[in-house]
């Protein structure tokens, strides 16, 4: 016999977005039920952001041994104990786990039910033997690795981001299928940890600025990563030598295969049709208010099928709190300042419109500003030669978008994200006093270049001459 409970808010999914809604609403006095049939913390904590950045940190530590000669330090090949790398990754997860735990959320007053949620009707969700009736439902079930129908893929062992962090030995030769951020981040990390790495894809970082993307790919190739672009996979087989990827012109043989070809929304278990919620294979359809076709049901984060970032899910959660807890029903999501980053070395990050997007929207009524890291004094001191910032503004100086490739690009992006979010013009960035010498000066230099042409024009020279004449 089913147990029925009533709540103000029922959150389905305990990933980044769902946890933020549940914690915020409960602490503000709402009766909240949180459903999660998998691991608390979702993909980010257990399979994504946290373990991948821990792995990247290990790879970066190893790389520092190989390239210090320019500083007068003798390089050496590091001795890597991958089992300890594995332990490092999982110790980081364990350190963060209590923040996302059932115990913490129950302590906040959330009723946590460790079962998957499935809609029974537009106003009811079933979780095991429990029926939940709530005034508002928040779907925050996230996404999972999408494995394409490659030939014979079901007949060979392969890894995804949900399984690769369980490895306790370094892959001898890791083959990565997929040219997006996840594939490239893991490819570089394993190369630095001692694996041979081949990346196979039809294209690489296809949504990024081509000029900046090429700088990153050139750097990865220098490290010895083998790229196969525009490579159609004819067959995948396994024999005593390993896993064979048959391409049109060659066969790539590796010890391990990683599929990193994108994500799919977790909607299979929800029975959305029973709740009158519109959806497609790409995700749940929502408006700017994050509400679905059922006015009592909202969806946030990856499950909406766009921009699968943890920080996007967190932002969505804030919109939900404002709307349904504080009654600010005019609150809507605005992603004009939603940043993204690829955490390779050099890293690649962007916010706002790319040059291509800006030209499509504004035609020639834009200005493109650039500054090379090679012209930055701190970069010279650090031995950094590769890096570029590209800033897109309107003709009147409104900042439309920024892309950066280079050391700490992901961190350098923060001030530009603020500028775009606040609708600032380029003069605000040009007037920033940046400590010297820092990499952050590339932002100020790029912004200041907006005024170079007019500052040193013949007209300005005439004005200066006239002012001198006037005393």
- Burial class of residue 256, CB neighbours in 10 A (0-12, 13-18, 19+): buried
Q: Are 35 and 10 in contact (CB under 8 A)?
A: yes
| The pLDDT value given to residue 104 | 98
- pLDDT score recorded for residue 463: 59
What's the confidence (pLDDT) of residue 228?
A: 97
For 340-455, which CATH class?
Answer: alpha beta
pLDDT at 1: 62
C-alpha 78, offset from chain centre: 30
CATH of region 153-262: 3.50.50.60
Residue 239: exposure state from Cβ atoms within 10 A (0-12, 13-18, ≥19) = exposed
Q: How many Cβ atoms from other residues are within 10 Å of residue 175's Cβ?
A: 28
Side-chain-facing half-sphere of 214: CA atoms under 13 Å: 2
Measured CA distances, 344 to 59, 64, 220, 297, 407 (Å) = 10, 14, 9, 38, 9
**pLDDT for res 453:** 72
Predicted confidence at residue 428, as pLDDT, reads: 97
CATH number of 3-40+101-144+264-325: 3.50.50.60
Question: What residue spans of 307-425 are helical by DSSP H?
Answer: 310-320, 355-362, 377-382, 409-421
Please check whether the two domains, 3-40+101-144+264-325 and 340-455, share a CATH topology: no
* β partners of residue 390: 370, 403
Q: Where along the chain do its domains lie?
A: 3-40+101-144+264-325, 153-262, 340-455
User: Measured between alpha carbons, how far is 320 from 102 in angstroms, rounded to an integer?
Assistant: 22
Residue pointed to by tokens 């370094």: 170
At 13 the pLDDT is 98
Q: How would you write the pLDDT of the chain (471 residues) with one tens digit per residue? A: 679 999 999 999 999 999 999 999 999 999 999 999 999 999 999 999 999 999 999 999 999 999 878 899 999 999 999 999 999 999 999 999 999 999 999 999 999 999 999 999 999 999 999 999 999 999 999 999 999 999 999 999 999 999 999 999 999 999 999 999 999 999 999 999 999 999 999 999 999 999 999 999 999 999 999 999 998 999 999 999 999 999 999 999 999 999 999 999 999 999 999 999 999 999 999 999 999 999 999 999 999 998 889 999 999 999 999 999 999 999 999 999 999 999 999 999 999 999 999 999 999 999 999 999 999 999 999 999 999 999 999 999 999 999 999 999 999 999 999 999 999 999 999 999 999 999 999 999 999 999 987 655 566 556 556 657 665
* Token pair 């914690």: residue: 23
């Amino acid at each position: 016999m089913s147990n029925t409970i009533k709540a103000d808010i029922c959150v389905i999914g305990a990933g980044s977005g769902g946890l933020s809604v549940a914690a915020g609403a409960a602490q503000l006095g709402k009766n909240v039920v949180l459903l999660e049939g998998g691991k608390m913390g979702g993909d980010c904590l257990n399979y994504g952001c946290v373990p991948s950045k821990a792995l990247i940190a290990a790879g970066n530590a190893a790389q520092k041994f190989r390239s210090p000669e320019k500083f007068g330090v003798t390089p050496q090949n590091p001795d890597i104990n991958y089992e300890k790398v594995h332990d490092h990754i999982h110790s980081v997860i364990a350190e963060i786990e209590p923040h996302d735990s059932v115990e913490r959320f129950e302590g906040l007053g959330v009723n946590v039910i460790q079962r998957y949620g499935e809609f029974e009707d537009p106003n009811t969700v079933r979780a095991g033997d429990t029926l939940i009736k709530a005034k508002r439902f928040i779907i925050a079930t996230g996404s999972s690795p999408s494995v394409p129908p490659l030939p014979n893929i079901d007949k060979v062992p392969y890894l995804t981001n949900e399984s690769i962090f369980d490895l306790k030995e370094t892959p001898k030769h890791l083959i990565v299928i997929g040219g997006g951020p996840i594939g490239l981040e893991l490819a570089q990390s394993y190369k630095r940890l001692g694996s041979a790495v081949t990346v196979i894809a039809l294209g690489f970082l296809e949504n990024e600025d081509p000029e900046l993307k090429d700088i990153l790919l050139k750097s990865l190739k220098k490290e010895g990563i083998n790229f196969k672009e525009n490579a159609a996979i004819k067959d995948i087989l396994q024999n005593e030598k390993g896993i064979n990827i048959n391409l049109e012109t060659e066969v790539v043989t590796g010890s391990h295969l990683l599929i990193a070809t994108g994500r799919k929304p977790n909607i299979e278990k929800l029975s959305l049709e029973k709740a009158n919620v519109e959806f497609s294979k790409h995700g749940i359809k929502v408006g700017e208010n994050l509400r679905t076709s059922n006015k009592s049901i909202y969806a946030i984060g990856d499950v909406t099928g766009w921009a699968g970032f943890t920080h996007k899910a967190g932002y969505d959660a804030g919109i939900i709190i404002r709307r349904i807890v504080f009654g600010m029903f005019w609150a809507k999501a605005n992603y004009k300042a939603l940043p993204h980053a690829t955490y390779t070395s050099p890293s690649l990050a962007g916010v706002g419109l790319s040059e291509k997007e800006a030209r499509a929207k504004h035609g020639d009524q834009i200005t493109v500003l650039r500054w090379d890291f090679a012209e930055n004094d701190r970069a010279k001191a650090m031995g950094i030669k590769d890096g570029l910032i590209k800033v897109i503004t309107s003709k009147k100086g409104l900042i439309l978008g920024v892309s950066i490739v280079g050391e700490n690009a992901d961190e350098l992006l923060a001030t530009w994200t603020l500028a775009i979010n606040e609708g600032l013009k380029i003069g605000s960035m040009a007037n920033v006093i940046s400590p010297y010498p820092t990499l952050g000066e590339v932002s100020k230099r790029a912004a200041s270049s907006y005024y170079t042409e007019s500052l040193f024009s013949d007209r300005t020279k005439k004005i200066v001459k006239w002012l001198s004449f006037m005393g």
